[in-house]
Amino acid sequence: MSGFTRRDVFRLGAAGVVAGTVGAPGLASAQEQKWAPEKGAKLRVLRWTKFVPGDQTGFEENTKKFTEATGVPVELEYQSWEDIRPKAAVAANVGSGPDIIFGWYDDAHQYPDKLVDVTDVADYLGKKYEGWVPAAKAYGTRKNRWICLPFGASGQCLAYRKSYLEQAGFKEFPKNFDDYLKMAQALKKANHPIGFALGHAVGDGSGWTHQLIWSFGGKMVDENNKVAINSPETIKALEYVKELAANFVPGTASWLDPHNNKAFLSDLVSVTNNGISIWVAAKNDKNPMTDDIFHAPYPVGPIGKPTELHLLTSAMIFKYSKYPKAAKAYMAFMFEDPQYTKWQAASIGYFTHTLNYYDKNPIWTSDPKITPYRDTMKRMLPNGYAGTMGYASAAVMADYILLDMVAEAALGSASPKDAAANAERKARRYYG
């Protein structure tokens, strides 16, 4: 940060100085926001545990740079993916905890009044970095104000063994659901079953189940937020799920987010949905299967367009924080280029960006196996589709209502009709 002293940083505001490191535009705007950290500021930040080593090391390096620039110490805390949501809910309810928590999906919409308004930061970043991806804006805003800063999505594609597909008679990954089912059946017959999480896997389980239900036209609620899950479209999707799940490897009923990674890398499944972490782990370990691992977007279902859900994480600054300006400065810093570009590269594209500017990150074209993950945010529908996000949509997601519905039909513990009726009853607890 040549040319600036620590005193300059405090005088101008940390975000303004960071903007200055990547070009003069935005410096004045950042100064106007008055994000100079409070005297004696220190921050606690809670985020997810890593699946890709570079994610955590890159994040920590950028955090260290922030401290060096501002003098504000930042304590990073890590929790498992499943534990983030309850930790955030407790912090919101008791009014004490980390200054910043990186939550999942629309968690922020469960307690928007407990969160600092970050519209100033979001407007600054959106203006500078070519705007927010539409799904990110939907997650980040409530009643025309930004309640959180969507940081990135653990974008999912379908990881598959190319040689196994070829053995099953497929030269490329299917693009429609009819061929997708035929592929699954052929792979099982060749002793290469597929496998998808049916346990309460925050990312992987929620991701593929929502994508599939939405692909048939099913949805938890309609445009007026009226419960609509018990529909002919949903039942048709569940009938398809039952056929698809007949080709799963045993044990998926209890799978959480790590399980499909382990199953794939142990050669127990030939296809699963995941972030890029499976391929990264294989590559880092020099696993012989590395060159045989490929990635494809989800096939498009009867609705005729992408209907994907990806595990979005958003930074929430809580009102109980004594240092909201420092927290805003920290988040602005972490979003700035080169910090964000460097973190994405260190993660090898594990998190898809929420600002359009980062389409240009060279990581996306550095290897054709990474490129499919670049546009996952743009193929994504927001949770709560086709209604609006709020307490009910966040609670339904946190309660795994749609995932449990799919699991019931897939495992045969309920018929498709009964599974849809069960989900409808549960959803009405939140939507009325």
Q: How far apart are CA 290 and CA 273, in angstroms?
A: 16
- Along the 432 residues of the chain, how does pLDDT read in single tens digits? 333 333 333 333 444 444 333 333 333 344 445 799 999 999 999 999 988 889 999 999 999 999 999 999 999 999 998 899 999 999 999 999 999 999 999 999 999 999 999 999 999 999 999 999 999 999 999 999 999 999 999 999 999 999 999 999 999 999 999 999 999 999 999 999 999 999 999 999 999 999 999 999 999 999 999 999 999 999 999 999 999 999 999 999 999 999 999 999 999 999 999 999 999 999 999 999 999 999 999 999 999 999 999 999 999 999 999 999 999 999 999 999 999 999 999 999 999 999 999 999 999 999 999 999 999 999 999 999 999 999 999 899 999 999 999 999 999 999 999 999 999 999 999 998
The answer to whether residues 33 and 19 touch, using CB atoms and an 8 Å cutoff, is no
- Predicted local confidence at residue 51, as pLDDT: 85
Any idea which residue has 């939405």 for tokens? 214
Which tokens belong to 353? 């960006």
- Sketch out the chain's domains with CATH numbers: 6-153+311-373 (3.40.190.10), 157-309+399-431 (3.40.190.10)
- Predicted local confidence at residue 17, as pLDDT: 40
Tell me, what DSSP letter sits at residue 362?
A: G
CA 405, 406, 410 angle in degrees (round to 5)? Answer: 125
Q: How far apart are CA 73 and CA 44, in angstroms?
A: 9
- Predicted local confidence at residue 11, as pLDDT: 35
